[in-house]
Amino acid sequence: MRILAAMSGGVDSAVAAARAVDAGHDVTGVHLALSRAGGTLRTGSRGCCTIEDAMDARRASDMLGIPFYVWDFSERFRDEVIDDFISEYQAGRTPNPCMRCNEKIKFAALLERAIELGFDAVCTGHYATLIDGEGGLELHRASDNAKDQSYVLGVLTTEQLAHTYFPLGTTPSKAIVRAEAAERGLTVAQKPDSHDICFIPDGDTRGWLADKVGAEQGEILDRSGSVVGSHDGAHAFTVGQRRGLRLGVPADDGKPRFVLEVRPVSNTVVVGPKEALAIAEISGERYSWAGAAPVAAEFECHVQIRAHSEPVPARATVSDSGVTVVPEVSLDGVAPGQTAVLYLGTRVLGQFTIDRTVSAVPVGA
């Protein structure tokens, strides 16, 4: 196949491209410039898409003897990922920018251009596997459960899966990938993995959001509606947060309180006991299937609400109004805006953005 290898400048994408070459494919490397004013250097494991990352990707491509290009996707990244991140917080939701980047950039914008240029598939260093099932191509978890990235790939559609290539999915561990990179002479063999939000390299999400959306004082309420404190901007709070609440009125039982809800319209934050974070039901209108859609309107599955959280047995119902999931045990600290990914064993069935949650602990209970 003609393969376009998305090369971030890290070890995973470099080894993935190398394996594509070894498999006999016609491989071209590409690095995505996602910022018009990208930083020059990384700081340890913080940040990505820097000039240093682009140079690392170029050096890896040179070692592999493949053509290499840098494509400017900064405008689309700003519109589809950064602006979406800001607007979601303004609406009181908790977005996942990595999920949105996969959906809108790596497997939409990049894949669209790749197909236009005659490539058969886009290769990435994600840890996930593709399997030919009875109903067609299926997305499954990686062999290395600790590195599994199938959750953030849950947004991929059947058509996108048909043009993707994940050479690392069956690798037993990340240590093997690093050892392989060192053996191949790739300079990124011991390069730290990037983490946090790539466009907020210093990790100060609260400060970054305050600069983008402004800070306006508001009230912190308990579940009964009584004022128990104040804040400098609702955008700085997320469901499940305990620290930094600055509450002036202690709880009746003396126990810590947690953020239960963010209400952007009234610029208020609702807090309550930890047990009130338990969620008995989640639902969402925006959903997609990674492969063949479930045949039945109701089905048993597992639901995962964070990239590295444990999947929970659940029952899902699909209707004209979207997807509703009732877990066997309550989910903890779920916020609107998060992504729920549905699994059947190791297979990713699909995903939906959580719009509504139902507490397992009614007010006053």
The DSSP H or E segment spanning 282 is strand 278-284
Catalytic residue at 301?
Answer: no
Interatomic CA distance for residues 233 and 210, integer angstroms = 8
Residue 169 is given by DSSP the state: T
User: Catalytic pick from 48, 49, 123, 198?
Assistant: 198
Q: Phi and psi for 119 in degrees, rounded to 5?
A: -80, 150
Tell whether the torsion through CA atoms of 117, 156, 82 and 308 is positive or negative. negative
DSSP, collapsed to helix, strand or coil, labels residue 112 as helix
Interatomic CA distance for residues 39 and 10, integer angstroms = 16
User: Catalytic pick from 48, 49, 101, 301?
Assistant: 101
Q: Are 99 and 108 in contact (CB under 8 A)?
A: no
* Distant-in-sequence, close-in-space partners of 270: CB < 8 Å, separation ≥ 6: 220, 221, 222, 223, 259, 260, 261, 262, 263
Catalytic residue at 123?
Answer: no
**Residues taking part in catalysis:** 101, 198
